[in-house]
Chains A and B, each alone.
Chain A
Amino acid sequence: MKIIRNRIATAVAGGVAAVWLTLGVVAAAAPVKADYPAKVGKGEGQLNLVAWEGYAQDEWVKPFEKQTGCMVHRKYAGSSDEMVALMRQGGGGEYDLVSASGDASLRLIYGGDVQPVNVKLIPAWQDFLPQLKSPPNNTVNGLHYGVSYEWGPNVLLYNTKKVSPKPTSWDAIYSDAHKGRITVPDNPIQIADAALYLKAHKPNLGIKDPYELTQKQLAAAVDLLQKQRPLIKKYWAQASDEIELFKNGDAVVGAAWPYMTNALQKDGVPVADTIPKEGATGWSDTWMLSAHAKHPNCAYKWMQYVSTPKVQAEQAIYFGETPANKQACSAMDKIQDGACHKFHLDAPSSYFDQIYFWKTPRTQCADGQRDCTSYRDWQRAWQRVKG
């Protein structure tokens, strides 16, 4: 996800990854088996993180270093794919932890790049939202490949002056009422948004999970997106792109993160966001432990630390997202009045359940059939959509 997707840095990392991969760096291509430590031992003095920009801020990193003696070395990644590449480079083990989003986590698990984490050693895990204790994006066969961190929905953002009445359906971005003033993310995972819309509007396609699409269902989603293309002003690549489009009046409605709503409202642009009646896709991030971690004790200490209410609250408010730890509510309100409500941590679980969290599309569907479409199919399909 997120804010500063530095395209160029990603390309450079991609180039590095290209060289590594073509030189034939081979990873064990199966989920790693559990090899739990009995308890968290003395810190190794170092910790190497791959994180989203804004996920390892000094406000909570400095106290951690002081408390544990683990010196934190950060590497910010601009995209899920860069994260996967970084965790694989050099045979893995250069980094101990990664803050992977749901569209990367399964790739890391099945690629054998991350190892199961003993959640008994993370006390705050007990206080997590029930849905985030063993979510399918980081828990496979009952093994937890990391601990959930923060989450948020992909919302429908609109200009309150130009769009009325208030939109209640994703129709707003698929119908020509706002032709040429619509913007959606430039990301293959956007196909899931189309699938979610079709799930509600074309039930005879039989879509159950927007991330598990058969060839026929994928074709239907692509068809919808191709019809949407002439309505689009721009496919946005970075959060700042969308903010600019709304500021300059180039877009009046679009798919967005709550982050953009906050940023635009702060600048006085008349916008609001909503989760339409069809539901929404969303992201859910996980701190995952490298299969070849060189500093496992410090890594466990970090996972314990960032799961505590205070850090979860600081992270949520810094970024504009929601903690996994439901005890973080009062800590959020202490930092910013009403923040707990603003970021929906006090929302009923029905709020959470209307969000379909990102996960990597795989050829094997949940029912064991192998007729689903893979991420690569999605990526090719997305290219066809963009033309």
Chain B
Amino acid sequence: MRRSTAALDFNPAQRFLRAASSVLWRRPRLAATALLAPPMLWFVLIYLAALGILFLSAFWTVDDFTGEIVHRWTLVNFETLATSETYRAIAGRTLGIAALVTLTDIVLAFPCAYFMARIAGPRLRATLFVVMLLPIWLSYIARVYAWRLILAHDGVLNWTLHALGLPAADIGYTNTAMWLVFSYIWLPFMITPIYAAIERVPGSLFEASADLGAKGLRTFTKVTLPLVVPGIIAGSIFTFSLTMGDYITPILIGGPGSSFIGNVVYSNVGIANDIPFAAAFATIPAVVMVLYLAAARRLGAFEMM
């Protein structure tokens, strides 16, 4: 007796919750909307709105002295970008080094990934994975500084060369140094997707290729490579975009003439307080990445991520 009255005797809050849950149960679409609304709101407000403001402000200018934004529509920022040789050179350098780093990482990562996926036993594979990912556990800054010590005038590299009786390599604080450091830092981001791609290729395909008389190189070009290309593209999205967006390594490792787009954006926001110009320059990597991602999607890279 007591039990049955207890079941009917909900307090108002409980009754409301019960009613709400039965409504949501009857209308699954409403439930989904309620669940998705907060993250969507976050995405639209914080992410898209910030991007939108950034893009809008590229068409404004800044008062020279007080640093206040002048809300008058103008293309002057884009004009400066297009006509200045310096900014063209910086954009070219940024994209060029990003491309070079990507190519280097593909060449380095492929054999590693292949060995891990096809040749190494489970134990060795696990060890290799740890070794490969180990640097990511360390702080980015610590790794970059380590390279600075290696490449310095009296650093480990020159010390070793000297011990071997070879002439000193003066590559500290140059674009070569940046290329080396970037290639090292982003390598794990290339190995992982390529490994995933190679692992997915069924072993029977290699056997079939061999049965049909294809030698190693032919199997590689006709079977392995085409199937692994999406993985390579996926990895290149990381290495390319991470290099293109970086501004710390150019500060720490670069020499004179090593500025990236990020450095110009940084100094315009942080030093000159010229946010509109920074926004205008920042649209270049954004546009490049949109085109890159569109191309990558067509090549099926997103299935490898």
Residues of chain A having any CB pair with chain B under 8 Å: 7-8, 10-11, 13-15, 17-19, 21-24, 26-27, 29, 79, 81-82, 84-85, 88, 107, 110-112, 180, 186-188, 229-230, 232-235, 237, 241, 244, 248-250, 360, 362-363, 374-376, 379-380, 383-384, 386-387
Contacts and interface: CB of A to CB of B under 8 A. Distances in A.
A79 B259 contact: no
B248 interface: yes
A136 to B, nearest CB: 16
A7 B252 CA distance: 11
Interface stretch (B124-132, B223-231, B272-280, B297-305): B272-280
Interface in B65-97: 65-69, 71, 84, 86-87, 89-90
B64 A19 contact: no
Interface residues of B, number: 49
B279 to A, nearest CB: 8
Contact of A250 (B66, B172, B274, B278): B172
B121 interface: no
Nearest to A364: B65
Contacts of A84: 67, 273
Interface string B233-272: 0000000000000011001101111010000101111111
Contacts of B111: none
21 contacts: A7-B248, A19-B50, A22-B56, A24-B69, A27-B68, A29-B63, A81-B270, A107-B66, A111-B68, A112-B66, A187-B271, A229-B256, A229-B257, A234-B256, A250-B172, A375-B65, A376-B62, A379-B271, A383-B259, A384-B84, A387-B89
Contact of B170 (A19, A82, A180, A229): A180
A11 B152 CA distance: 27
A111 B65 CA distance: 8
Given A17-B273, A84-B273, A375-B65, 16 more contacts: A11-B270, A21-B67, A22-B56, A22-B69, A27-B68, A29-B66, A81-B272, A107-B67, A233-B172, A233-B256, A244-B148, A374-B65, A383-B264, A384-B84, A386-B259, A387-B89
A15 B53 CA distance: 12
B273 A81 contact: yes
Contact of A11 (B90, B269, B272): B269
B274 A379 contact: yes
B57 interface: yes
Contacts of A29: 63, 66, 68
Interface in B132-166: 148-149, 152-155
A387 B256 contact: yes
Given A17-B269, A232-B255, A375-B272, A249 B66 contact: no
Contacts of B264: 383
A376 B65 CA distance: 8
Majority secondary structure, A binding face: helix
Which 7 pairs between the two chains have the least Cβ-Cβ distance? A248-B152, A379-B272, A14-B269, A14-B270, A387-B257, A374-B64, A29-B66
B173 interface: yes
Contacts of B53: 19, 22-23
B271 A233 contact: no
Contacts of B172: 233, 248, 250
A30 B255 CA distance: 40
Given A234-B255, A249-B154, A110 B275 contact: no
Contact of B256 (A7, A88, A230, A374): A230
Contacts of A360: 65
Contacts of B273: 17, 21, 81, 84-85
A79 B65 contact: no
Nearest to B85: A384
A379 B273 CA distance: 10
Given A81-B273, A232-B255, A383 B66 contact: no
B268 A387 contact: no
B270 A82 contact: yes
A215 to B, nearest CB: 14
Contacts of B89: 387
Most chain B CB within 10 A, of A10, A23, A88, A379, is at A379
